[in-house]
Chain A
Amino acid sequence: MTQAGSALSVSMTGCHTCNQVVRIGKNSHHQGLRCPRCGTKLHPRIHNSLLLTWMLVCLAFVLYIPANVLPMTRVVALGQAQEDTIMSGVIYFIQHGSWYIGLVIFIASVFVPMLKLAMLMFLLISVQRKSQWRPRERTRIYRITELVGRWSMLDIYVVTILIALVSLGVFADIDVGPAAIFFAGVVVLTIFAAKSFDPRLIWDNIETEQSSLPPEEQGAKYIDR
């Protein structure tokens, strides 16, 4: 390998599942092609990646509002009903001494979804503006969005466990509020949004501007552990 280049520029593509390198036709639309080794659908680039990701991100933003405004749980104890949103739950924990639990919920439920949406938007805009800025770091940002999204499910699980434990007793009753469904929607949508974004688009912009990396940085490296 003397010149770093994309597989697509020489009419090839890699399989997402088994990493097989497949030769593809030069002018076809690459629709419905399957990997000859493992049978996975091949996407030389994810079709309409930017549009699809934008749609999912915007939809997640819309759902994020009711997820935070509407009550997550409704506790009925001794004839008194109390409704809690995500933030009021966090504040409750901070005021009652277990601030670290409040912090965990805040990070998982409020901070992580926002961070993930912000990072995806940043990536989308940078690709659309054909940015040349730090492709390696941007690819790393993409990998972070893939990793952290699932942790937002935390509050859903907390509510599940609470109702499992409390609804069996007689002294209190917990109902799941409407925010839970919206919140789950945000989590699932952002997971799909991260999947529909194609990180290779970051590098396509770099390549059209000629390879800027020094020759010794090209080609796969290996490390020993």
Chain B
Amino acid sequence: MLQRQPALQHHGSALCGRCGAVLFKSIPDGVDRVIALALAGLVLFAVANVFPFLAFEAGSQTTQTTLFTGVRELYAQGIWVLAGLVFFTCILAPLVQLILMMYIFVPIKIGKVAQFTKPAYRLLRHMQDWNMIDVFMMGILVALVKLTKMATIIPGVAMWSFVVLIFVVTGASASIDGRVIWDRLEKTK
């Protein structure tokens, strides 16, 4: 529905007068917040992927897995469609999301606009839909309960950083106010 844009106070939200959906929010320091959280997210992402995710102890045997092991195993079993889907939703989508946030908002912070800001922002919106790391975390919990009777499971450094990563990415996404980008684009025209 076509409607006039109301003036917002600090931390206010504009809702659609008809269906009640949030149209936009006023987020003071939004740009700073996005950059800070995205930077933290990139570090956490690196830790989550490099270090062992879970260690699995059964009898005298110990095995360690990283985040990527599951994807590789799916691929090894010949189910590359699933391997691709898991890789995309749990590794690629959050990574691309974080990189795009930096690419768009760091130039804005220093008063410029990156060359491909528009397609980058569109891609960012798509990636937000396909990022499912929170669901993956729930999957870990279920798998842990399933296996506790068989063996001892020791969560690794990577898992803790993955948990924090979920909150960081969500927080960064929530701090994005597209209007900042469009205002800047208009000024630099």
Contacts and interface: CB of A to CB of B under 8 A. Distances in A.
A161 B18 CA distance: 44
A139 B58 contact: no
A157 B86 contact: yes
B51 interface: no
Contact of A222 (B13, B121, B136, B143): B13
Contacts of B17: 4, 217-221
A1 B82 contact: no
Contacts of A167: 73
Contacts of A14: 2
A40 B122 contact: yes
Contacts of A180: 79, 82
B4 A219 contact: yes
A181 interface: yes
Interface residues of A, number: 69
Interface size grouping (class) on chain B = 35 or more
A29 interface: no
A36 to B, nearest CB: 11
A19 B65 contact: no
A127 B16 CA distance: 20
A154 B74 contact: no
A115 interface: no
B3 A1 contact: yes
A184 B63 contact: no
B81 A5 contact: no
A161 B139 contact: yes
Given A5-B2, A19-B178, A162 B147 contact: yes
Interface in B1-35: 1-9, 11-21, 23-24
Interface of B: 1-9, 11-21, 23-24, 54, 56, 58-59, 61, 63, 65, 69-71, 73-74, 77, 79, 81-82, 85-86, 89-90, 118-119, 121-122, 125, 129, 132, 135-136, 138-140, 142-143, 145-147, 150-151, 153, 178, 181-182, 185
